[in-house]
Amino acid sequence: MSKYVKDLVTKDLARRLDGVADCVVANVIGLDSLATYQLRKRLREKNIHCLVVKRTLARRATAGTSLAPAFEDLEGSAAVLWGSEDFISLAKEITELDSGTEFKEFATVGGVMDGERLSAERVKEISKWPSRAEQLSLLVGQILGPGASLAGQLVGPGGTLASQIEKKSEGEGAE
């Protein structure tokens, strides 16, 4: 490949990865065309982007960005995966694909989160964390819990007093 073509491909890769801060790198070498189609379809359904890149071109395209550490010790071609709702959801989906039997050749190589290089084992650890939606539901529960207790404590005595007054008034009307 000539230097001019390499520069064009590098610029295109840099444009495609512009704005991407976190990614997972996986090995997809060995998948046949049907498996590749099914993998890409499944990833699209989860709003995950997949781009197979040559390591040297990826290094050149991501130099100086937060994605650069992902390609330091990479050899050969690899798939760069990004997107989903958040990085933890991405890690969960990739770990599920890696541990499943549907795509045997698919293997997680590593990734980048907040500019820090991740190993394949670290991506698996991160996949066990609660996702953004789970974290928000826990937070809302923690916020609403004390409020519900306070509301119950404020309404409880008033309700008790109201029922006692009602019983007393019913008792006087019967006499």
Question: Range with the lowest mean pLDDT among 32-36, 50-54, 104-108, 152-156?
Answer: 152-156
Q: Give, in order, the Cα–Cα distances in Å from 115 to each of 92, 150, 173.
A: 19, 43, 77
Percent of the chain at pLDDT > 70 equals 98
Domain boundaries, the chain: 3-129, 132-175
Maximum mean pLDDT: which of 4-13, 150-159, 160-169: 4-13
Of 133 and 44, the one with more pLDDT: 44
Average pLDDT rounded to a whole number, residues 124-143: 88
Average pLDDT rounded to a whole number, residues 34-39: 92
Average pLDDT rounded to a whole number, residues 75-93: 90
What pLDDT score does 100 carry? 85
Alpha-carbon torsion, ordered 55, 57, 63, 65, to 10 deg = -80
In the predicted model, is pLDDT for residue 109 greater than 60? yes
Q: Give, in order, the Cα–Cα distances in Å from 109 to each of 15, 78, 105, 124.
A: 23, 9, 12, 11
Phi, psi values for residue 171, rounded to 5°: -65, -35
What pLDDT score does 150 carry? 80
CATH of 3-129, one of 3.65.10.10, 3.90.1570.10, 3.30.70.1730, 3.40.50.150: 3.30.70.1730
Give the H/E segment covering residue 63: none
3-state SS class at 50: strand
